[in-house]
């Protein structure tokens, strides 16, 4: 079921994949060679059930390899420090990474997608210079401070407060409040923060967007233990945290509209990698299922229906990427919302199906494989973790309301 690809060639082991970017076929082969010589063959076994600290060290190591090969931010425009690779090149990168079951740089998702999607469109030249370079040159980790205990999918209800003050001659915002569900917040250097700056305005109109130093006095970070036993998320407490006024993104009280650039990346661009990994996982399931559950006609019919849905979402992702190519600021569209909804439902159904057909042995607890995404063949952990996609970036229920009201123009019920 996989796409036909060229056979491996004898490309020099010392060459960088980007040295061959003018020829897409040669680029694919060079990338495949780079992955083979860079990714440890036993990395999955070595990082099965590892501690949070071991996970973070491995993630930083993997990001350093991507940075050294100039692959980490290759999707960024050239004028902002990237390689400006085409849609076709990006497809090749994710196909080859998925096919090789290479690690996912999940701790750097905010750094590589959410941050640039925000700063490209709304940041100042100084902000882009400092913080985009910080990712590329120093490997800085970013987290996102949007959701709150009482403001998740209804994000506009957030209560974290930012007051502008002059302290010791410095123009700052003093922030108080609490954020939750910040992915890898315990490892972050910087924070994309939404806070209320006008208590008298309607909900969306009184919100501003900030860059916050996670090491600033008054910031307390606590990991959240999940049902899988991992702590991917953190809650963040803010007690009189001072943010320099120059770290305001855009204009005061216009943070809500700016946040849509960030959320567009979450709902669309980062799904590209996830969908490619799912496509390869489907191929593995075919090989592993021959002679066992695939002999059952009902199971085969159910799996085939899931496969068709995966192919449909894969096509939607490519349509979305073509839209992004036409938008130099990486803006989102309604396609990203459709992809988010479809992929979340499919991922859940796929993992539930594989858990069911894998038999009783799959029900036993096994250590999770970190950095491997949602398709690790650890059926129970994959199934439990798949539910995060129906919540992140706005719950599916809220997203369906968005489609109904904003895209289809239906009246509010």
Q: What is the DSSP letter of 225?
A: -
The Cα-based distances of 175 to 118, 213, 218, 224, 250 in angstroms read: 21, 12, 9, 22, 18
Residues 6+ apart with CB under 8 A from 140: 111, 131, 134, 189, 190
| H helices present in 39-82, as ranges | 43-46, 52-68
CB 114 within 8 A of CB 122: no
Q: Are 305 and 311 in contact (CB under 8 A)?
A: no
Task: Judge whether 340 and 399 are in contact, CB under 8 Å.
Answer: yes
CA 68/CA 63 separation, integer angstroms: 9
**Nearest residue to 141 (alpha-carbon basis) of 71, 195, 67:** 67
Pick from 118, 394, 90: nearest CA to 262? 118
Give the integer Cα–Cα distance in Å for 159 and 157. 6
291: left (phi over 0), alpha (psi -120 to 50) or beta: left
The sign one gets for the Cα dihedral 364, 365, 369, 372 is positive
SS3 249: strand
Check 266, 273, 276, 285 and give the catalytic one. 266
Bridge pairing between strands 248-249 and 207-213? antiparallel
- Which residue in 254, 264, 387, 278 sits closest to 1, CA to CA? 278
Cα gap 36→251, rounded to integer Å: 47
Report the candidate in 103, 70, 75, 68 with the shortest Cα–Cα distance to residue 89: 75
Catalytic residue check, 266: yes
297-326 helix and 87-99 helix, angle to the nearest 10 degrees: 150
- Token pair in block for residue 2: 């996989």
Read off the DSSP letter of residue 407: I
- The rounded distance, in Å, linking the Cα atoms of 103 and 14 is 21
DSSP state, 362? G
Which residues are catalytic, by number?
A: 266
């Amino acid at each position: 079921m996989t796409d036909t690809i060229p056979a491996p060639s004898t490309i020099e082991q010392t060459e960088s994949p980007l040295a061959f970017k003018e020829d897409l076929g040669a680029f694919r082969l060079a990338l495949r060679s780079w992955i083979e010589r860079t990714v440890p063959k036993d990395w999955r076994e070595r990082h099965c059930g590892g501690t949070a600290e071991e996970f973070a060290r491995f993630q930083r190591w993997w990001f350093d390899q991507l940075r050294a090969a100039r692959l980490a931010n290759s999707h960024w425009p050239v004028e902002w420090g990237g390689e400006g690779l085409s849609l076709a090149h990006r497809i090749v990168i994710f196909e080859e990474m998925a096919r090789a079951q290479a690690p996912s740089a999940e701790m750097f998702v905010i750094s590589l997608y959410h941050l640039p999607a925000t700063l490209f469109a709304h940041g100042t030249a100084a902000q882009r210079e400092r913080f985009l370079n910080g990712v590329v040159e120093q490997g800085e980790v970013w987290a996102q401070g949007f959701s709150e205990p009482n403001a998740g999918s209804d994000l506009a209800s957030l209560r974290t407060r930012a007051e502008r003050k002059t302290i010791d001659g410095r123009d700052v915002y003093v922030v108080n409040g609490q954020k939750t569900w910040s992915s890898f917040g315990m490892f972050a250097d910087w924070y994309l923060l939404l806070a209320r700056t006008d208590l008298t305005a309607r909900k969306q109109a009184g919100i501003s967007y900030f860059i916050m130093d996670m090491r600033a006095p008054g910031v307390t970070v606590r990991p959240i233990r999940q049902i899988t036993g991992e702590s991917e998320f953190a809650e963040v407490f803010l007690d009189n945290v001072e943010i320099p006024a120059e770290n305001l993104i855009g204009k005061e009280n216009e943070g809500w509209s700016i946040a849509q650039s960030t959320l567009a990346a979450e709902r669309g661009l980062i799904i590209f990698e996830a969908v490619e990994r799912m496509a390869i996982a489907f191929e593995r399931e075919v090989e592993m299922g021959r002679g066992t559950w695939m002999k059952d006609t009902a199971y085969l019919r159910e799996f085939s229906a899931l496969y068709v849905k995966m192919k449909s979402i894969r096509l939607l992702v490519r349509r979305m990427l073509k839209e992004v190519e036409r938008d130099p600021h990486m803006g989102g569209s309604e396609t990203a919302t459709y992809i988010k909804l479809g992929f979340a439902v499919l991922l859940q159904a796929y993992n539930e199906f594989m858990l069911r057909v894998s038999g009783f042995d799959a029900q036993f607890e096994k250590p999770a494989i970190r950095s491997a995404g949602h398709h690790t063949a650890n059926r129970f952990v994959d199934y439990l973790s798949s539910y995060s996609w129906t919540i992140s970036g706005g719950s599916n229920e809220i997203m369906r309301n968005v489609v109904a009201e904003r895209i289809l123009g239906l009246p509010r019920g």
